[in-house]
Amino acid sequence: MANELRTKSAFEIGRLIRDKQISSPEVTRVFLDAAKADFSKAVGADDKINAFTDLTEEYAMHRAEEIQKQIETGENLSPFSGVPVAIKDCICTTNGTTTASSKILEGYVSPYDAEVVRRLNAAGTVMIGKVNMDEFAMGGSTETSHYGITRNPWDLSRVPGGSSGGSAASVAAGFAAFALGSDTGGSIRQPCSFNNLTGVKPTYGSVSRYGLMAYGSSLDQIGPLCHDVRDAAAVLSIISGPDKRDSTNIMDESFELCSVIHHFENVADKPLKGLKIGLPTNYLEMDGLAHDVRETIIQARNKYKELGAEIIDFELPLIDYAVPTYLIVSAAEASSNLSRYDGVKYGYRADGDDLLDVYYNTRSEGFGTEVKRRIMLGSFVLSSGYFDAYYKKALKVRALIKQAFDEALSKVDVILSPVCPTEAYEIGGQIKDPIAMYLGDIYTTSVNLTGLPAVSLPAGFSNNNLPIGMQLIGKTLSEEKLLGVAAEFQKVTDYHKKRAF
Amino acid sequence: MQITDELIDYLCVLSRLKLTGEEREGRKKDLGDILQYMEKLNELDTDGVREMTHPFEEFNYFREDMITNGDDRENLMTIAPERKGDYFKVKKAVD
């Protein structure tokens, strides 16, 4: 019974609680016990998934009791009342630590909640802990965390992806019903692909970044990692919306995604008739794209054709330039954003001869290798003498990439592409070669550079029986249509129903 | 591009980082590789293209100039590494 509960979607769990089949404290206990069993294993143990950086057991149980009272009195009847959630460690919460998986923030407890956390709380969800990530979200494998690597629940010898690897692993392993992550260059979508989950990188500006530790401010968005599209749509409708504390917010109100949530009840022959899906054929000819990932995308294309969509094969130019552009822009913004970690007001402080020496020592001891590498890269591309040749150049190429996507999306409604060139790879497989690691983001970074929304959803399994996702990219603020297109796929397939345990 | 010791020293100053000998050798190699990879952008003609700093540049979200948060002083001071009364305590900054 306990294991079965952990396989259910957030929506199903919410319904069981609302229908009084099970109480919120009972649900919380089941998920917490599973999470605790893993959390208590020795760091570095081969069978430890290590999804969490902090478990908030006491808070979660207290909160579940509160929610249960509200349910009994009919005060709180949100579809997600009592549903257990895990929050990425770079999203500020007043309960539990928020460290961005860095030593420089070891033990840090935020004095305020992020806007997305406030919104989730209002919807009645129960946070059970903070989840592991690549340090400051810089990485694609959760191997750069100061708190140890996270293992992939589908195969413990492999990475869960990243940077939201703890978010993905916690959901795939049944430690939480859904999770929040952040996506700067693919950090929600790629872990979803590696863990058989459905995730969304929403339109830039649709979800408040207030309380998200800044990495690449013009690229970062928070989004959900869930078992299916219905859950992802529900979470997105909760967390999206206006917030005056984020000057880049573009919303007047939250996304209205009821049509997606109820999509599964409608049955129609050729439901996608009239929809144009573009498949960039050059994306499938890239070096390094695994054969079974390519086959999976072609099968998805055929499935969409069966559903009535018109498939348009076309060339989407500039893909070879997306990763270098992304690297320059993200490193520049990161070097600036991470200048705040100096050991003065919060976080780790090292000793030194004078104040300047304290800055140097705090940062040198507090940051890990990948973070230092990117700060130095960012300092380089912004430094006088190199600014025009690197940073300005990248901003111009960014404009060209945006033009290419705008043009493509003027002819098709949705673009179908791989998420990542490969299945989840072995731990240690890429970490020593930064460029190989960066190239894993080749299909995802353009979406952040352009601000467009994209969904990553289960599309099949590899020869090694590991999950493979596909990506659907839509027009600005077209989340309703985009998630509807994803929902039609999940109506006729059952990949998303498979679990790692 | 050749990554010299002088360049590494300069970047360390800009980044407020000290590197160990091993880190320094590592960065000399991988920064060189990464910068070379970034130079791929030079294949593109971008003359006359306007720089894009942000997905929606025409939009700015203004709000009223009003104080909405309360007195958070104690809340923020409790997480300071070192304090003296209501001040952050640091090493000597000026002689």
Please state the rounded mean pLDDT for residues B57-77. Answer: 82
Joined together, the tokens standing for residue A119 give: 């919104």
Q: Do B35 and A108 touch (CB under 8 A)?
A: no
pLDDT of B58 above 80: no
Q: Taking 90 as the threshold, does the pLDDT of residue B45 lie above it?
A: yes
Tell me which DSSP letter residue A309 carries: P
- Mark which residues 11-40 of B lie under 8 Å from A by CB: 11-12, 14-19, 23, 26-27, 30-31, 33-35, 37-38, 40
> How would DSSP label each residue in A57-114?
HHHHHHHHHHHHHHHHTTS---TTTT-EEEEETTB--SSS---TT-GGGTT---SS--
pLDDT for the residue numbered B94: 79
| Residue among A204, A344, A358 whose CB faces B55 most closely | A204
Each residue's pLDDT, cut to its tens digit, for chain A (501 residues) gives: 678 999 999 999 999 999 999 999 999 999 999 999 999 999 889 999 999 999 999 999 999 999 999 999 988 779 999 999 999 999 999 999 999 999 999 999 999 999 999 999 999 999 999 999 999 999 999 999 999 999 999 999 999 999 999 999 999 999 999 999 999 999 999 999 999 999 999 999 999 999 999 999 999 999 999 999 999 999 999 999 999 999 999 999 999 998 888 877 777 788 999 999 999 999 999 989 999 999 999 999 999 999 999 999 999 999 999 999 999 999 999 999 999 999 999 999 999 999 999 999 999 999 999 999 999 999 999 999 999 999 999 999 999 999 999 999 999 999 999 999 999 999 998 888 888 888 899 999 999 999 999 999 999 999 999 999 999 999 999 999 999 999 999 999 999 999 999
pLDDT at residue B69 tops 90: no
Q: What are the domain boundaries of chain B?
A: 5-43
Determine the pLDDT at residue B57. 73
* Interface touch A395/B52, C-beta < 8 Å: yes
Burial of A384 per CB tally in 10 Å (0-12, 13-18, 19+): exposed
C-alpha B95: how far from its chain's center? 27
What lies within 8 Å, CB to CB, of A285 at 6+ separation is none
Verify whether the Cβ–Cβ distance B33 to A434 is below 8 Å.
yes
Instruction: Choose among A183, A154, A176: nearest CA to A5.
Output: A176
Is A139 within 8 Å of A41 (Cβ atoms)? no
**Closest-approach residue (CA) in chain A for B58:** A248
A393 vs B27, B34, B41: nearest CB: B41
Strand-pairing partners, residue A32, are none
pLDDT attached to residue B59: 67
Instruction: State whether B52 and A390 contact (CB < 8 Å).
Output: no
Q: What is the pLDDT of residue A437?
A: 87
**Which H or E element spans position A225?**
strand A221-226
Q: Which residues of A are catalytic, by number?
A: 88, 163, 187
Q: CA distances (Å), A309 to each of A399, A483, B8, in order? A: 30, 15, 54
CATH number of B5-43: 1.10.20
Q: Would you state the pLDDT for residue B95?
A: 73
Instruction: State the nearest Cα–Cα gap between A350 and chain B, in angstroms.
Output: 10
Alpha-carbon distance values, A368 to A105, A336, A365, A373 (Å)? 12, 17, 8, 9
Enumerate the residues of chain B whose CB falls inside 8 A of the CB of residue A372. Answer: 15, 17, 19, 23, 27
Closest-CA distance, A268 to chain B, in angstroms, reads 37
Please report the pLDDT score of residue A74 as a whole number: 87
Write down the pLDDT at residue A79. 93
